[in-house]
Structure 1
Amino acid sequence: MRNPNAGENPENSDRALSQSFTWKKFMALLNRAKPNMTFLIIGFIISLLSTGISLVIPLFTKNLIDGFSLKSLNITFIIIIVAAFLLQALTSAISSYMMGYMGEQTVANLRQIVWHKLIDLRVPYYDDHQTGETTSRIINDTTVVKSLVADQLPSFISGILSMVGAFVVLFWMDWKMTLMILVAVPIMALLMVPIGKWMRRISIQLQRQTADFNSLTTETLSETRLVKASNGENIEIANGDQGIHNLFQTGVSEAKIMAIVGPIMLLAMMGILVTVIGYGGIRVENHTLSVGTLVAFLLYLFQVISPATQFSQFFTQLQKTKGATARLDDILEQPTEDLTAGADVDVDGQTLSVEDVSFSYQPDKPILKHISFEAHPNSVVAFAGPSGSGKSTLFSLLERFYEPTSGRIKIGDHELDDVSLNSWRGQIGYVAQDSALFAGTIRYNLTYGLTTQVSDDDLWHVLKLAFADQFVHDMPDGLDMQVGERGVKVSGGQRQRLAIARAFLRNPKILMLDEATASLDSESEEMVQRALNNLMANRTTLVIAHRLSTIVDANKIIFIENGEITGEGTHQELLASHDLYRQYVEEQFNK
């Protein structure tokens, strides 16, 4: 099974997450979700009222049994009993709804916080985490928190109120019998503490395996064409079966815990019930306790036992939530991009300067080494060199997906770090080798990210500039044609021309082309190149080129090998001075 935490021991990761949980973090997480305190307070008050009514009913029963006679069953007494039952049911329902609403709203707010965080996370986070694992956290882990806050917590609060009220009345009725019940409390606690720790470890393991399986299915299904083209069905079936088996084994471990917890709680409660009935029966026989008091005592005891049996579910869910909290907190502690920090700078007519920039993903493995160059306004600067030499990484630095390890990048007189990301990226047009499209319409993909309304005339205009208007016209739904997931319903050349049209619509001042024609056939390449020539006019353009024929007219060509600049100049200058560039030209032009 493909492991999203490749190179990392999952058990060590689980142990670290388990140890990272603190109640302070859990409460801070809930506080960030801003629970509706009005609903919580009103629900709590109504729950108190409901509990008070439920505590009165056994006293009515006691008086009815001890002083039973047909004369006592008058219509007023019956109305009072029925009204008490109805009012208790109504207040209980209202309280449960308000507490549940508060819980659902809290978790919805939490999901929004996590979602906003995920969108704002820096690119390096996604380099180290598979998409399926991340989506598992926002879906599965928040569902675990939801189950506690929205489902278990309201029952727990009402149960606590019921138990406390019942114990107060029980002490008032007969403190000796009540002490017999309280003896069981520390015994239950001693039994539940080690089970709770076991449950937390199992829960974290289950959540990790769920994330792993989610990653596997997401990746496999999104790359189904690669799977089928590579005859990889049997491999993926085996990977999926292994993931399902892991989930099964961990689920069985969880079932074992639940199988232990339930009987322990039931045995303890039944032991208390039998003891109370036995001891109370002796007291009734000795005339030191009335039958009505014993019945009322048993009714109050049920008000203790019923919530206590639910508490096992609450504490089990609480252990699961500890694991989910640790995983969510791990995301929320990650550094994010601040899109608005810095100045809004108009880059039109400004020179882009890269000064002695070095970069490495890992400290001991440099990717770029002391890169320096300038891109003057309205010029074309091309980058050539062997695959893996660092050209695309340089573009990622210019897009500010990463920060240089050393050196600096400037636009005009401004340090790039001092320019807001919104301002900088809003003035850049980027066309990649395999430009991405979202599942949706052509219109949606062209206007994606724009905050202003765009007319159909404007859309057709940029499509024409990108030589894409004809094939869009020929589609049954035109601009409302669905392109499918990642644009699978359009060809590679069409996808590239749509990406170029999207760049036209943004009217960028700096254009970045990352091997935009490398994966196309000759016919598509010619059409896309014509569209690119239109787009490059009167803009500062940076080009990564695999096919050198597309950059022979560049104002400057920079040749990069092993992360270092080994040659710089025009096409003719490099032909005369750079052996490897001349070799590349001869290989490509003499075919």
Structure 2
Amino acid sequence: MTNLSERVEPSGAAPSKSLGWRAFVRLIMQTNPSKSWIAAALLLNLITTLTGLIVPLFMKNVVDRFSVESLNVWQILGIGAAFLAQALAAGASLYMLSRVGQQVVANLRERLWKKYLVLPVPYYDRHQTGETISRLTNDTGVIKGLITEHMAHFFTGMISIAGSLVMLIYLDWKMTLLMLIVIPLTAVVLVPLGKRMYHVSKDVQDETAGFTSVLSRVLSEIRLVKSSNAEPSEYELGRRGIANLLRLGIKEGRYQAWISPVITLVIMLMFVVIVGYGGMRVSSGALTAGALVAFLLYLFQIVMPITQLTQFFAQFQKAQGATERIVETLQEAEEAASGKNLEAANMNMPLKLERVSFGYGNDETVLSGISFTAEPGKVTAIVGPSGGGKTTLFSLIERFYIPSSGVIRLGDTPVEEYALASWRSRIGYVSQESPLVAGTIRENITYGLDRSISREELQHAVEMAYADEFIAKLPGGYETQVGERGIKLSGGQRQRIAIARALLRNPQILMLDEATSSLDSKSEIVVQQALHNLMQGRTTFIIAHRLSTVVDADQIVFIEKGRVTGIGTHHELFVSHPLYREFTAQQLRLQEQP
């Protein structure tokens, strides 16, 4: 079966208007549900239905030949056994289908989670975190509700309706045809309502995703919210989302309120017509009283499943909207693994950028014609005014983005030909923020490594990063929890943890993005010493605004407005590049200030 994630649509393509029920079925089948469990559940459903079909026939005979003498213990035990078998088979069937449904949704969530981890960075530039979380939780939750709560009743109901209809035709085909006339009339009302429910359900899921985005953003940055006195504006934004969900929920409830009375009215009309017409046929002798009783019992076995089917189709409309969004996510292009899957074993070669250009949008050019060579084991400093594209250049080397034109080579080989995981394993990145994950210090230092780390290796990396002293003073040592995004540690401590992480990876290419700009002078001295240890023997790129950081670099690349305007040593650029000379003078003035 074709994998949805393999049928990639062009990035930015408009989503399809409606994928229909086939997309839902295809999505479910791709989770490989247990066919044996489904078959067993359907068999039990069949047993339940057949058992239920026996009871009205028994009642027909009892009514037609009713007398106290006609009843015996074996008949009573037989009907009791039939009811017990029906109850046990129905319970077992519901459990089996529910279990299959739970497994389907678990597999679907696992598939989505795996997909999220291989989607490229541009996908996350276009989608808010809360929206992404909503796909994985809310949308799959809708499908879970359909499968585990309604799908079992759907199968049971369909079998029950089919079996009962066969028996009704057998008892009296004329009354059965009369009863079936109401079905097209009911569809005239229910089909338009179902379509409206579908659109409202999609709106509800969109609004839920937006509201989840607000919650995720505000709660993850609650300190910024409070320090900026932004509570009123954020409250209003959240209140607006809640109000929209309320409005859509009321609208959804209004449509559901129409469906229930229509079904009830149809059921009542069917009973009135059948009792009236059936009574006439009994009076004329065309039908026995027992057959009429059996007919009504079979009709009851149709009515109850129809109510459940109505709930199923209402939930199915919601599931279709959820399916569309999940399918759209699974159709997103993944990160390009590589062309030749070369292993990045020998990185002791020049890294060359040849007329590299890049823009985040069609009309936005961030880098234009960037060309320079970084020699192995040397330090290349990237300097220039803010917004010139320096951090974007790092993202291209890391292969978070693909250049719109030009090529990046290691030696003579384009970096796209190296296996992505292998390439990134050779790169160490230390940024200004030094992001940490919630967990222990040990987990953060060893984060992402697919091998066991010895105590000696860990200790050596920590000592080289000058992090051993502060870790030893913590109550839990390496097992100390750092908090969400490392909030329990200072900026200097987070930087040293990030440096220890990079040292443990033993990268051959090192990228430092303003790694000391947010630190106080005391922390900066310690971190600079740690960075000096980290840079030894590695091809290093540095983004920095401080003169002390770049003056000793082997070469300096000056970038302004996305273009390289100067390449050379500190002395060469100071003589030949007016803007770099101005940058140097400004830094010297800052250093002279008390």
Q: TM-score range by the shorter chain?
A: over 0.9
Which residue of 1 is the match for residue 527 of structure 2?
A: 528
Is the counterpart of residue 487 in structure 1 residue 486 in structure 2?
Answer: yes
Any idea what SS the aligned residue of 1:253 has?
Answer: helix
Aligned-pair CA distance for 1:327: 0.8
Counterpart secondary structure, 1:19: coil
Contact 1:18/1:323, CA 8 A, preserved across alignment:
no
Equivalent position of 1:571 in the other structure = 570
Q: Residues 37-83 of structure 1: CA distance to partner in whole angstroms, max 9, x if unpaired?
A: 11111111111111111111111111112112222221111111111
Separation (CA, whole Å) in 2 of partners of 1:93 and 1:340: 51
Alpha-carbon distance in structure 2 between the residues aligned to 1:560 and 1:453 = 41
Q: CA deviation at 1:142?
A: 0.6
CA contact (8 A) 1:347 1:411 kept: no
How far residue 486 of structure 1 moved from its aligned partner, in angstroms, is: 0.5
Q: Give the counterpart of 2:287 among 286, 289, 294.
A: 289
Q: Deviations 1:271-312 (Å, cap 9, x if unpaired)?
A: 111211122222223332222111111110011000111111
Please tell me whether the aligned partners of residues 436 and 487 of structure 1 are also in contact (alpha carbons under 8 angstroms): yes
The alpha-carbon distance between structure 1 residues 154 and 286, as it changes in their structure 2 partners (threshold 3 A), is same
Identity over the aligned pairs, expressed in percent?
Answer: 49
Q: CA deviation at 1:18?
A: 7.0
The equivalent of 2:385 in structure 1 is: 386
Structure 2: which 5+ residue stretches go unaligned? 1-11
The equivalent position to 1:87 in structure 2, one of 85, 88, 94, is 85
Query: What is the identity, as a one-letter code, of the residue corresponding to 1:385?
Result: G
Identify the residue that residue 414 of structure 2 maps to in structure 1.
Answer: 415
Secondary structure of 1:381's aligned partner: strand
Partner of 2:44: 46
Q: Any conservation in 1 of the 2:367–2:389 contact (CA below 8 Å)? A: yes
Which amino acid is the alignment partner of residue 453 of structure 1?
S
RMSD over aligned CA atoms reads 1.3
Partner of 1:588: 587
Do residues 322 (structure 1) and 320 (structure 2) align?
Answer: yes
SS of structure 1 residue aligned to 2:366: strand
- Report the counterpart of residue 436 of structure 2 in structure 1: 437
For the residues of structure 1 that align with 2:308 and 2:520, how far apart are their CA atoms?
66
What's the CA shift string for 1:190-244, capped at 9, x where partnerless? 2111111101110010000000000001000000010010011111111111111
Q: Could you tell me how far 1:338 is from its partner in structure 2?
A: 4.4
Partner amino acid for 1:83?
A
Indicate conservation of the 8 Å contact 2:347/2:410, yes or no: no
- Is the deviation greater in 421-430 or in 285-294? 285-294
1:87 aligned partner, one-letter code: A
Preserved CA contact (<8 Å) 2:60 2:291 = yes
1:452 maps to which residue?
451
Structure 2: distance between partners of 1:68 and 1:350: 99
Which residue of structure 2 lines up, in the alignment, with residue 372 of structure 1?
371
Unaligned residue ranges in structure 1 (runs of 5+): 1-12
- Residue by residue, what CA displacement relative to the aligned partner does 1:531-589 show, whole Å, maximum 9, x if unpaired? 10000001111111121211111100000000000010011111111111111111111
Residue 28 of structure 1: how far off its partner (Å): 2.2
Contact 2:139 2:322 in 1 (8 A): yes
2:202 matched residue in structure 1: 204
User: 2:335 matched to which residue of 1?
Assistant: 337
Name whichever of 192-201 and 340-349 sits farther off: 340-349
**Do 1:350 and 1:377's aligned partners in 2 also have CA atoms closer than 8 Å?**
yes
Aligned residues: 577
Are the equivalent residues in 2 in contact too, given 1:156–1:311 (CA < 8 A)? Answer: yes
Are 2:211 and 1:219 equivalent residues in the alignment? no
Written as runs of structure 1 = structure 2, the 5 A alignment for 1:122-521 is: 122-339=120-337, 342-521=341-520
- Once the two structures are TM-superposed, the CA of residue 340 in structure 1 deviates from its matched residue by 6.6
Q: Does the residue aligned with 1:356 lie in a helix, a strand or coil?
A: strand
Q: Distance in 1 between matches of 2:125 and 2:567?
A: 31
Deviations 1:400-433 (A, max 9, x none): 0100010101112221111010110011100011
Q: Secondary structure of the residue that 2:365 maps to in structure 1?
A: strand
Secondary structure class of the residue paired with 1:235: helix
**What TM-score do you get using the length of structure 1 for normalisation?**
0.96
**Counterpart residue number, 1:21:** 19
Contact 1:339-1:421 within 8 A present in 2 as well: yes
Contact in 2 for aligned 1:18/1:200 (Cα 8 Å): no
Amino acid of the structure 2 residue aligned with 1:574? L
Q: 1:189 to 1:418 in 2, by over 3 A?
A: same
> Structure 2: how far apart are the matches of 1:163 and 1:90?
20
Q: Residue 458 of structure 1: CA displacement?
A: 2.2
Could you tell me how far 1:104 is from its partner in structure 2? Answer: 1.2
Instruction: Give 1:463's aligned amino acid.
Output: V
Partner SS state of residue 360, structure 2: strand
Report the 3-state secondary structure (helix = DSSP H, G, I; strand = E; otherwise coil) of the residue aligned with 1:590: helix
Q: Which residue of 1 aligns with 2:4?
A: none
**Which consecutive segments of 4 or more residues in structure 1 shift more than 6 A?**
none
Candidates 116, 119, 130, aligned match of 2:117: 119
Tell me the alpha carbon deviations over residues 430-479 of structure 1, each in whole angstroms, 9 at most, x when there is no partner. 00110110111111111111111112332222111111111111111111
SS, match of residue 373 in structure 1 = strand
User: Aligned partner of 2:258: which letter?
Assistant: I
Work out the CA distance in 1 between the residues paired with 2:554 and 2:421. 29
Query: Is contact 2:44–2:89 with CA below 8 Å preserved after alignment?
Result: yes
Partner Cα separation in structure 2 for residue 92 and residue 27 of structure 1: 24
The answer to whether the Cα contact below 8 Å between 1:18 and 1:201 also exists between their aligned partners in 2 is no
